[in-house]
A and B are shown apart, each in its own frame.
Chain A
Amino acid sequence: MKLIPTGSQTVGPYLHVGLTWLTTQDIAGTAGGRRIRISGRITDADGVAVPDALVEVWQANPQGKYAHPADKQDKPVDSAFKGWGRCPTDKDGVFEFTTLKPGAVPGPGNSLQAPHLAVTIFMRGQLKHLFTRMYFPDEAANADDPILNFVDDKARRDTLIARKDGEGRYSWDVVLQGRNETVFFDC
């Protein structure tokens, strides 16, 4: 039997009714380790802030292991760290998370992926969600990251890399369309 996956439809403007009960801006929770703060702003083709988006984050723990049975790596797990966050944007289009910096995780073949957050973005005006990633600016491993290297244009690749805003603070803006448009993935 082969079924067609159900079609995606927009979350619409009232997504908060059903989705903000699970808002999780503190991804670190009770897990041990040094906190980092990541914030950013989502803007549209006109540079206007998007106040009705929802951002979800999926990441590995600081040792580079995902809290999921498909990750069979022999690496330590802290059961308090789930690696998932959800944050609606505020009236200024801003989202913010507190988390632990992820470790490097295996990529295709023998490659290693630089520390990154997988980011999913939902909003009114998007019939299906957008997949992107956020990488860290102070990582030599970015140069060899197999996913970053799918983005040939250096300027475009840089849209996936956060800015350092101080000790343990990163900012990463998402531009939906136009100048400095963020790279989105088909995955």
Chain B
Amino acid sequence: MVDVIGYRREAPGTQPAHLFPGYASTVKRAPSQSLIKIPHTLTEVTGPLFGHDRIGPNDADLTKQGKGEPIGERMILSGRVLDEDGKPVPDTLVELWQCNSAGRYHHPVDQHNAPLDPNFTGAGRIVTNGKGEYRFVTIRPGEYPWRNHYNAWRPAHIHLSLFGPAYVTRLVTQMYFPGDPLLPLDPIFNSVADAVARDRLISSFDIETTIPEQALGYKFDIVLRGRAATPMVD
């Protein structure tokens, strides 16, 4: 017999629903049947681990990956990866992707009429340190139009992908910027119903990590699911 301590379930409203018609692409892609709730077994409480050896020297500095300097406003994105109890999540992979300062992705599907930047691919990655901290140097991404509804524009955002310690702690999210006037209009951001949870998707400007004459600092802490207090009895 293997006793497994599972992970906590989400509080109502703190995660988006699968079907959210305001975001039109969910209509044909969300399940119509209810999800079937299952207990956490050894399968769910284990998961892939990626070591620091997977990370190359400039993987966390997106301004140093080309032959020259990318165009745009340099910024530092840093923060901690925590669990629900506020405990740091060390040694976990964080993957990042974003568009360039003109609002265009380095991707064949993106045909937005904005310039590509030969010195910016918009991809980065890092493994958190022993205190759960991560730090990227990048360029502030631009806003860009999309065809979800008339005159739809995505607020500036950075995509982040995390694993955490287990299969069920996997998270892909987007980080937004404070004061962005597009946020109230964006269905993806507003798919998180709970206002407190939604606001956690917005980074905060941080003078402490701002580098004089060089780059603005933004802080963004990421919280992964935490362990349930007691072994699951199912």
Contacts and interface: CB of A to CB of B under 8 A. Distances in A.
**A and B are interacting partners:** yes
Interface of A: 1-19, 21-22, 44-46, 48, 50, 52, 56, 58, 60, 66-68, 70-73, 82-84, 105-110, 113, 116, 118, 120, 122-131, 133, 146-147, 150-151, 156, 176-178, 181-187
A126 B30 CA distance: 7
Given A10-B188, A185-B37, A126 B18 contact: yes
A151 B36 contact: yes
Nearest to B167: A58
Contacts of B198: 7
A127 B188 contact: yes
Contacts of A146: 41
Nearest to A177: B32
B86 A3 contact: yes
Contacts of B47: 58, 68, 84
Contact of A126 (B29, B46, B97, B196): B29
B87 to A, nearest CB: 9
The 6 closest A-B pairs by CB, nearest first: A18-B97, A125-B25, A68-B46, A84-B48, A125-B29, A127-B16
Nearest to B93: A22
B211 interface: no
B11 A6 contact: no
B: interface residue count bin: 35 or more
Tell me the dominant secondary structure on chain B's binding face. Answer: loop
Residue among B16, B159, B172 with max Cβ neighbours from chain A (10 Å): B172
A185 B161 contact: no
Given A18-B96, A176-B29, A66 B109 contact: no
A34 B121 CA distance: 39
Contacts of A122: 172
Given A70-B45, A82-B48, A113-B42, 11 more contacts: A5-B14, A14-B110, A17-B123, A45-B29, A70-B46, A105-B43, A107-B41, A120-B170, A125-B29, A146-B41, A187-B38
Given A50-B29, A113-B41, A58 B1 contact: no
Nearest to B54: A22
Interface in B1-55: 1-2, 4, 9-11, 14-18, 20, 23, 25-33, 35-50, 54
Interface string B221-234: 01111100000101
Given A108-B232, A116-B43, A128 B95 contact: no
Contacts of A182: 31
Residue among A14, A50, A67, A147 with max Cβ neighbours from chain B (10 Å): A14
B145 to A, nearest CB: 13
B2 A129 contact: no
Contact of A176 (B30, B170, B223, B226): B30
Nearest to A12: B159
Contacts of B76: none
B173 A9 contact: yes
B168 interface: yes
Given A58-B48, A127-B188, A128-B15, A10 B23 contact: yes
B201 interface: yes
Contacts of A58: 43, 46-48, 167
B56 to A, nearest CB: 10
Contacts of A10: 23, 172, 174, 188
A113 B43 contact: yes
25 contacts: A3-B83, A5-B14, A5-B84, A5-B225, A7-B15, A7-B16, A7-B192, A7-B201, A9-B16, A9-B191, A9-B201, A45-B27, A50-B29, A60-B43, A68-B48, A70-B166, A72-B2, A105-B43, A106-B1, A124-B29, A125-B30, A127-B17, A131-B168, A147-B38, A187-B44
